[in-house]
Amino acid sequence: MAKNNTILVKEISIRTIKVNGSDYISITDIAKQKNPVEPKDVVKNWMRLKNTLEYLGLWETLNNPIFKGVEFDPLLKEAGSNAFTMSPSRWVEQTGAIGLITKNGNGGGTYAQSDIAFKFAAWVSVELELYLVKEFQRLKADENDRLKLDWNLQRTLAKVNYHIHTDAIKENLIPKELSKTQTSFVYANEADLLNVALFGITAKQWRDENPKAEGNVRDMASLEQLVVLSNLESINAVLIHQGLAQSDRLMQLNKIAISQMKSLVGNKNIKRLK
């Protein structure tokens, strides 16, 4: 789910969005500093440069497990030539890139992951980049302050109500034993494998059931669940190296999650952290 914000940089409003926990900044808005009438042309000119594609390709390689490197190689060879053209939509379509997002319609444009957006801003204007980084840092500081306030409020409420709903917490926190159908289903994403083992649901299923919620299923996790999730990640890595099939790993991880959650729910040290 996307969360929208706007920052003012040198009298230009620049939109930001948060998608699946990552910050994206409108490079269409940044480009208006150079060409207020046709900012998309500025973006295209930047993307046709060889060093731009090298940077974008490296970023995707490091951050995108489904990046199509085979399709990327010929684009890099063509980049920089007089006949070469590139647009955000073509880049995403051909390579499966996630660092750029294109939005259509009123208020649309191209958004780039913050690291990429800063790189683009530096190409437009070094001064603009400095102002953008400063304002973005201020935005993140404000967000962190709000999160701390929310966190402290949640902790206070949890302490007040702890004795009232202890039994209900235990009942809801302990993972359910997965059905045969669930354990036989192949989850392409290993992160979702862990989600199902611990929460009994995939990230998409949780978003579909909670369309108005900010964040994702892991953002809503309890302290106990986060501890178990960290353990499951390490255990899953070991099971992968052992060559276990995904369905077998899911069954083992689910049993481990149930066992560890039962132990943590009654743990006095965990209670002190709350």
Q: Phi/psi at 103 (nearest 5 deg)?
A: -125, 135
Say yes or no: 151 and 126 in one domain.
Answer: no
Place of tokens 């390490």: 234
Q: Quick one: pLDDT at residue 40?
A: 92
Q: How many domains does the chain have?
A: 2
Note the pLDDT of residue 155.
54
Query: Is 177 within 8 Å of 258 (Cβ atoms)?
Result: yes
Q: In this structure, are 187 and 108 located in the same domain?
A: no
Per-range mean pLDDT, top range of 187-191, 202-206, 270-274: 202-206
Name the strands in the sheet holding 3-9, side by side, starting at the edge strand that comes first in the sequence: 3-9, 12-19, 22-26, 109-113, 100-103
Residue 122 is encoded by which pair of tokens? 């530096």
Res. 154 pLDDT band, cuts 50 70 90: low
**Residue 239 to residue 56: CA distance in whole angstroms:** 33
Mean pLDDT (whole number) for 23-32: 93
Whether residue 35 is found in the same domain as residue 121: yes
Same domain for 101 and 209?
no
pLDDT at res. 167: 45
pLDDT (tens digit, 9 = 90+) per residue, 82-103? 889 999 999 999 999 999 999 8
Q: What are phi and psi of 96, to 5 degrees?
A: 70, 30
pTM over 0.95: no
Answer whether residue 4 shows pLDDT above 90.
Answer: no
Q: Do 159 and 220 fall into the same domain?
A: yes
4 beta partners = 17
* Residue 46 pLDDT > 90: yes
7, 136: one domain: yes
| Token pair belonging to 78 | 């063509």
Residue 163 and residue 260 in one domain: yes
Q: Are residues 164 and 84 in the same domain?
A: no
By C-alpha distance, which of 227, 62, 215, 240 is closest to 203?
A: 215
More confidently predicted of 121 and 174: 121
Same domain, 56 and 90: yes
pLDDT at residue 27 in the model:
94
pLDDT at 3 over 60: no
Question: Which residue segment(s) compose the domain that 113 sits in?
Answer: 3-140
Domain end among 80, 114, 140: 140
Hey, how many other C-beta atoms are within 10 angstroms of the C-beta on 189?
Answer: 13
Q: How far apart are CA 87 and CA 186, in angstroms?
A: 35
Among 119, 140, 161, the domain-final residue is: 140
How far apart CA 143 and CA 31 sit, in angstroms, is: 25
Q: CA-to-CA distance for 183 and 253, rounded, in angstroms?
A: 11
Instruction: Give dist(CA 26, CA 100) in Å, integer.
Output: 10
pLDDT in the model for residue 267: 58
Residue after which a domain boundary falls, among 140, 170, 192: 140
pLDDT tens string 227-248: 888 888 888 888 888 888 888 8
3-state DSSP call for residue 113?
Answer: strand
Strands 100-103, 109-113: pairing is: antiparallel
Local structure of residue 36 (DSSP, 8 states): S
Q: Is the Cβ–Cβ distance between 13 and 29 less than 8 Å?
A: yes
pLDDT at position 148 is 62
Question: Can you give the pLDDT at residue 252?
Answer: 92
SS3 assignment, position 6: strand
Percent of the chain with pLDDT over 70: 81
Of 193, 204, 203, give the one whose Cα is nearest residue 256: 193
pLDDT computed for residue 254 by the predictor = 92
Same domain for 237 and 155: yes
- For residues 96 and 156, membership in a common domain is answered with no
User: Is 160 a residue whose pLDDT tops 50?
Assistant: no
Q: Are residues 58 and 178 in the same domain?
A: no
Confidence of residue 161 (pLDDT cuts 50, 70, 90): very low
